[in-house]
């Protein structure tokens, strides 16, 4: 029965050389949108550039690409005369919407999933900010 000790030694070597359980991949756990609120009246040409900062399961933070919307993730109801680009640039058009609107940044919890492949069923994370149009 020399086979059993040999198998135990082989298993111990495999585990000590990285053959054990791998760490799970880091996940996106939160999004902070900056600025948190902005008054377009105080911005050049009524434009505000929003940025999405992701917080990951390992505690790290980094700018991320996000799906930008005005009425919450996966909604298509436009807010009259506010435009929001795919890069987070919001613009209030003179004579249009007056008041405060939400700005939402949404991204997949799995950072390896390309943004265009995200659907309503994808586990995702969102962050919000506000823009005020004069």
In a domain, 101, yes or no: yes
CATH number at residue 38: 2.60.40
In a domain, 9, yes or no: no
pLDDT, residue 125, reads: 96
In a domain, 41, yes or no: yes
pLDDT tens, position by position, 64-94: 999 999 877 776 666 667 889 999 999 987 7
Domain ranges, residue 66: 24-133
pLDDT tens, position by position, 109-125: 999 999 999 988 999 99
Distance CA 71, CA 13 (A): 55
Please say whether the beta carbons of 90 and 48 come within 8 A.
yes
In a domain, 50, yes or no: yes
In a domain, 3, yes or no: no
pLDDT tens, position by position, 19-46: 556 667 899 999 999 999 999 988 888 8
Q: How many domains does the chain have?
A: 1
In a domain, 91, yes or no: yes
Whether the model pTM is above 0.85: no
Q: How confident is the model at residue 134 (pLDDT cuts 50, 70, 90)?
A: confident
pLDDT, residue 45, reads: 83
């Amino acid at each position: 029965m020399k086979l059993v000790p040999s198998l135990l030694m082989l298993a111990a070597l495999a585990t000590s050389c990285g053959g054990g359980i791998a760490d799970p991949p880091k996940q996106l756990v939160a999004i902070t949108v900056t600025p948190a609120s902005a008054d377009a009246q105080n911005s050049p040409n009524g434009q505000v550039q929003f940025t999405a900062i992701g917080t990951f399961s390992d505690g790290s933070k980094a700018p991320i690409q996000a799906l930008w919307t005005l009425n919450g993730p996966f909604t298509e109801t436009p807010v009259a005369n506010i435009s929001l680009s795919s890069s987070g640039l919001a613009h209030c058009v003179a004579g249009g919407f007056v008041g405060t609107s939400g700005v939402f940044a949404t991204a997949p919890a799995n950072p390896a999933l390309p943004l265009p492949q995200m659907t309503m069923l994808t586990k995702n994370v969102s962050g919000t900010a506000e823009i005020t149009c004069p």
